[in-house]
Amino acid sequence: MAKPKKNYVCNQCGSVTQKWAGKCESCDEWNCIEEDVTTSQAVPKGLSAAKGNKIALAPLGDFEPTNYKRAISGISEFDRTCGGGLVPGSATLIGGEPGIGKSTLLLQTVCALAKRNLRCIYVSGEEAMDQVRMRAARLGLADSPVELASATNVRDILASVDGADILIIDSIQTMYIDNIDSAPGTVTQVRTSAQEIIRHAKSRNMAVIFVGHVTKDGQIAGPRVLEHMVDTVLHFEGDRSHQFRILRSIKNRFGATDEIGVFEMAGEGLREVLNPSEIFLSQRNMNVAGSAVLAALEGTRPMLVEVQALVAPSTLAAPRRSVLGYDNNRLAMIVAVLETRAGLQISGCDIFLNIAGGIRINEPAADLAVAAALISALRGSPLPPENVFFGEIGLAGEVRQIAQSDIRLKEAAKLGFREAIIPKNKNTSAKPKKAANGDIRISEIDTITMLADLFASTQVRAA
Ligand code: TYD
Ligand code: MG
């Protein structure tokens, strides 16, 4: 008989190899290759269809929407991020750095769900029951009818959870299956545990939420396949030294991705932030150079945030670039475009850039606000406080159109901004309608030079 072939798998990126190595060829991580116990068997040669059992084939239209009544917690930031509540039988993975508040969020959510007469079970593999109880007491949720367990053996857990509507597994890296010969947290254990739990939950119409740890570069630890196995992947992110937390949907089979929920970590747990723009802008100092307001869009939700820049003369051969909440490469590009296309002497300066409030902005629409903050900081003259910016900047110095400007303008108008500096709309029929945008005046620009000139004239006007 042929010797069974061993497979090895990278516990960072999930790539499979036939040979052990110290470094993964795909993701360049060290010490991350381990033996994959489940697939280390000889692959069967041929398959005879005659021996298979018939599977049920059913018409596509045979759908009863009432079977899929979503479980709504009433914590609207959570419900919206899940696409409008948890779907029965769905599997959700929520990742985030240690200490960011995953366990707190889930405890608050299950308590809210349990209050609505759903049977919820919270299984913690990391904390003892009393630790969870203590937290619940601190959050004022001690009287909630949630059932609690501290367990890590998947077989035992599955034997005890029948009849539940919602099952929380905190965290999947602590779970293990007793007939697999590897430690909890290894790729094989994480994958197989998740598979077993999902299969059990789906067949009983139970919604399950897994907590997943993240690696140092922000990926959910364990095999990538974990993300493929679940229906929804959420990231809970934020700066631990700030109070704001953002729940972001990365993948959702039952709703839109890029949806976010904003929370604030307070003494009594996580509080929903229903009007993030007002809070993010509440500490803005209007008369300081280098501050620009961006009308960002996160999922379907418009959000106004402050971009702060500080530009200082540098004595270093390679000037400092310090960036918080924004992409380093993107900043480098904007600086190069400002220097080359608009003739500003900026690349020799130290540059510090910060998105206020500890949140992270990834969309290209932020380019124009970043450029405006940089120009203002370089010239030492504050921007008009009632101005708001959005637009993408191209390498040729052109300002490009971006999606959904109407929603952004509406939010800006709602918060009392009076002028929006935005890309020129080439398509006249789709021009933002004045009525929809309230009193906001629109200044369209199509090059970065126009942006620089706009402020030059503001300066003159102010003088
Ligand atoms: P936790 O939910 O344990 O994080 P995770 O499960 O993601 O590791 O959150 C722990 C942090 O949250 C801890 O640093 C303290 C903070 N926290 C508060 O500030 N207020 C609270 O009411 C609670 C419960 C936690
Ligand atoms: Mg935890």
* Predicted confidence (pLDDT) per residue in 101-118, tens digit: 999 999 999 999 999 999
| Ligand 2 geometric centre to CA of 136 (Å) | 13
| Ligand 2 geometric centre to CA of 360 (Å) | 22
| Ligand 1 geometric centre to CA of 356 (Å) | 22
User: 64 CB contacts (<8 Å, ≥6 apart)?
Assistant: none
Q: Is 80 in the pocket of ligand 1 (CB under 6 A)?
A: no
| Ligand 1 geometric centre to CA of 138 (Å) | 11
Task: Look at residue 171 in the predicted model and tell me its pLDDT.
Answer: 87
* Predicted confidence (pLDDT) per residue in 171-202, tens digit: 899 999 999 888 888 888 898 999 999 999 99
Same domain, 343 and 289: yes
Q: Is 414 in the pocket of ligand 1 (CB under 6 A)?
A: no
Same domain, 286 and 313: yes
Return d(Cα 208, Cα 155) in angstroms, integer: 16
Q: Is 96 in the pocket of ligand 1 (CB under 6 A)?
A: yes
Strands 419-423 and 387-389: parallel
Q: Which residues pair with 110 in a beta bridge?
A: none
Same domain, 179 and 249: yes
Ranges of beta strands (E only) in 356-433 are 387-389, 392-393, 399-400, 419-423
429 pLDDT more than 60: no
Closest C-alpha to ligand 1, atom 17: 269
Please provide the size of the chain in residues.
463
Domain boundary (226, 246, 274) is at 274
Q: Is residue 430 part of a domain?
A: yes
Pocket test for ligand 1, best of 105, 265, 270 (most atoms within 8 A of CB): 265
| Ligand 2 geometric centre to CA of 91 (Å) | 18
Q: Is residue 460 part of a domain?
A: no
Closest C-alpha to ligand 1, atom 14: 99
Task: Look at residue 201 in the predicted model and tell me its pLDDT.
Answer: 94
> Is 157 in a helix, a strand, or coil?
helix
Q: Across residues 36-49, what is the average pLDDT?
A: 63
Identify residue 30 by its one-letter amino acid code. W
Domain boundary (235, 258, 274) is at 274
230 pLDDT more than 90: yes
Q: Is 85 in the pocket of ligand 1 (CB under 6 A)?
A: no
Q: Which residues pair with 313 in a beta bridge?
A: 349
Closest C-alpha to ligand 1, atom 16: 101
Same domain, 301 and 337: yes
Task: Look at residue 61 in the predicted model and tell me its pLDDT.
Answer: 81
Q: Across residues 109-128, what is the average pLDDT?
A: 94
Q: Is 265 in the pocket of ligand 1 (CB under 6 A)?
A: yes
CA dihedral of 321, 327, 329, 333, whole degrees rounded to 10: -90
Q: Across residues 237-249, what is the average pLDDT?
A: 85
Closest C-alpha to ligand 1, atom 9: 101
Same domain, 115 and 127: yes
Percent over 70 (pLDDT), the chain: 90
pTM, whole model, 2 decimals? 0.79
Task: Look at residue 462 in the predicted model and tell me its pLDDT.
Answer: 38
Return d(Cα 256, Cα 36) in angstroms, integer: 34
Task: Look at residue 65 in the predicted model and tell me its pLDDT.
Answer: 67
Q: Is 267 in the pocket of ligand 1 (CB under 6 A)?
A: yes
220 pLDDT more than 70: no
Residue-wise over 16-53: b if at least 16 C-beta within 10 A, else e?
A: eeeeeeeebeebebeebbbbbbbeeeeeeeeeeeeeee
Closest C-alpha to ligand 1, atom 25: 269
Same domain, 269 and 289: no
Task: Look at residue 140 in the predicted model and tell me its pLDDT.
Answer: 92
Identify residue 171 by its one-letter amino acid code. S
Task: Look at residue 12 in the predicted model and tell me its pLDDT.
Answer: 74
* Confidence grade of residue 234 (pLDDT, cut at 50, 70, 90): very high
The DSSP 8-state label assigned to residue 390 in this structure reads -
CATH code of the domain containing 388: 3.30.230.10
Q: Which of 245, 244, 295, 297 is nearest to 415 (CA)?
A: 295
Q: Can you tell me which atom of ligand 1 is nearest the CA of 135?
A: 24
Task: Look at residue 431 in the predicted model and tell me its pLDDT.
Answer: 52
Q: Can you tell me which atom of ligand 1 is nearest the CA of 107?
A: 2
* Confidence grade of residue 461 (pLDDT, cut at 50, 70, 90): very low
* Predicted confidence (pLDDT) per residue in 134-180, tens digit: 999 999 998 999 999 999 999 999 999 999 999 999 989 999 999 98
Q: Is residue 314 part of a domain?
A: yes
- Ligand closest to Cα of 240 equals 1
| Ligand 2 geometric centre to CA of 211 (Å) | 8
Q: What average pLDDT does the structure give for the chain?
A: 86
Q: Across residues 394-409, what is the average pLDDT?
A: 92
- Ligand closest to Cα of 169 equals 2
Closest C-alpha to ligand 1, atom 23: 269
Q: Can you tell me which atom of ligand 1 is nearest the CA of 170?
A: 6
Percent over 90 (pLDDT), the chain: 52
| Ligand 2 geometric centre to CA of 185 (Å) | 15
Task: Look at residue 31 in the predicted model and tell me its pLDDT.
Answer: 83
Q: Is residue 68 part of a domain?
A: no
Domain count, the chain: 3
221 pLDDT more than 80: no
Q: Is residue 62 part of a domain?
A: no
Q: Which of 344, 349, 423 is nearest to 391 (CA)?
A: 423
Task: Name the more confident of 448 and 30.
Answer: 448
Q: Is residue 145 part of a domain?
A: yes
- Ligand closest to Cα of 100 equals 1
Q: Is 46 in the pocket of ligand 1 (CB under 6 A)?
A: no
Domain boundary (254, 274, 294) is at 274
Q: Across residues 224-238, what is the average pLDDT?
A: 87
- Residue 7 structural domain: 3-41
* Confidence grade of residue 276 (pLDDT, cut at 50, 70, 90): confident
- Least confident piece of the model among 106-120, 129-143, 264-278, 445-459: 445-459
Q: Is residue 58 part of a domain?
A: no
2 pLDDT more than 80: no
CATH code of the domain containing 130: 3.40.50.300
Q: Which of 14-18, 44-48, 324-328 is modeled with the greatest confidence?
A: 324-328
Same domain, 197 and 319: no
**Token pair 């067949």: residue:** 203
Same domain, 345 and 393: yes
Q: Is residue 63 part of a domain?
A: no
Same domain, 247 and 104: yes
How many CB atoms neighbour CB 108 within 10 A? 26
460 pLDDT more than 50: no
Same domain, 291 and 260: no
| Ligand 1 geometric centre to CA of 358 (Å) | 17
309 pLDDT more than 50: yes
Same domain, 111 and 215: yes
Task: Look at residue 30 in the predicted model and tell me its pLDDT.
Answer: 84
| Ligand 1 geometric centre to CA of 44 (Å) | 49
Same domain, 128 and 269: yes
Pocket test for ligand 1, best of 104, 123, 126, 245 (most atoms within 8 A of CB): 104
223 pLDDT more than 70: no
